[in-house]
Structure 1
Amino acid sequence: MRKAVRTGAVITAGLVTAAALTGCSGDGKKSDPDGSSGAAKSSQAPGDSDSNSGADAAALEGGWAGKTDGKAVVLSVASGKAVLVTEQRACTGTVKDMGKVMLVLKCADGDTDRTTGSIESNDGKTVVVSWDGGTKDTLAKTEPGAIPSGLPDLPAS
């Protein structure tokens, strides 16, 4: 029972954080005076204006959800910041361009399975993240403001 309460608390805290990141930022795009997206601009290397990797980082903005090994995984990205919530933990960090779009996270419990992940593909509907810990998540885009389906129920008190 105690583990179920902790798991529910982690999921709830992560979803609230994810909702705050994506829900309070409008459409997730900040416009600079030159009309470019702030998220895309921040992920490009200096002097690398021809690179399309900034567009790839901007395409990661929003909410993503799925299941890996039968367990719920939720990723939320807004303004270059990322929150990942699984049934066991919550991790926060940033989206970085390291020659490839990467997620660099730190988990609250110190776990390192999902701390550095590379975006293998992103077609705007599905994103595939390969984590250095060996896990691969395939996540589907969620509607803005919607809570992803398939999450575990919170325990009754």
Structure 2
Amino acid sequence: MAPDEQAAREAMARAGVAHLAHRHVDDLSGGERQRVLIARALAQGSSHLLLDEPTNHLDVRYQHEILALVHGLPLTTVAVLHDLNLAARYCDELVLLSAGHVVAAGVPDEVLVPEVLEPVYEIAVRRFDVDGVPQLVFGMTEGAGVATDQRLGGTTTT
């Protein structure tokens, strides 16, 4: 077997898409297509992976599958994510941008805090730590910087 073919087979196995080898890319679902693109990068021996919204248009299960796969790869990955809860779970470091400027950078525990996020997104933020991972709940701002979330039974002053 040629080295290129061997690299492709190994990459497909690692990305969990070996069973798709004989299907046309146009027949793949969004999640399958994302995993095939990741396999292609692995087969090429890339040391870095740049992803722009890799979970866009994927259901919850496939969002987690894709990001868990990427997180476990032995290469440097830079991903643009708008879902901050996914970023909290799968990213080692975050850079929060607003109007083209860096607002905050660091580990999720430092960046994903209401005092950083609320001025950027102009929405109330409540943070809960679940199994050591920050998880965010967003609510609409009401009146003079006060957001009320009836389901969680509290008022957060912004």
TM-score by length of structure 2 reads 0.27
Which structure's relative contact order is higher, taking Cα pairs within 8 Å and 6+ residues apart?
1
Larger Rg: 2
Q: Which has the higher helix share?
A: 2
TM-score by length of structure 1 reads 0.28
Q: Which has the higher strand share?
A: 1
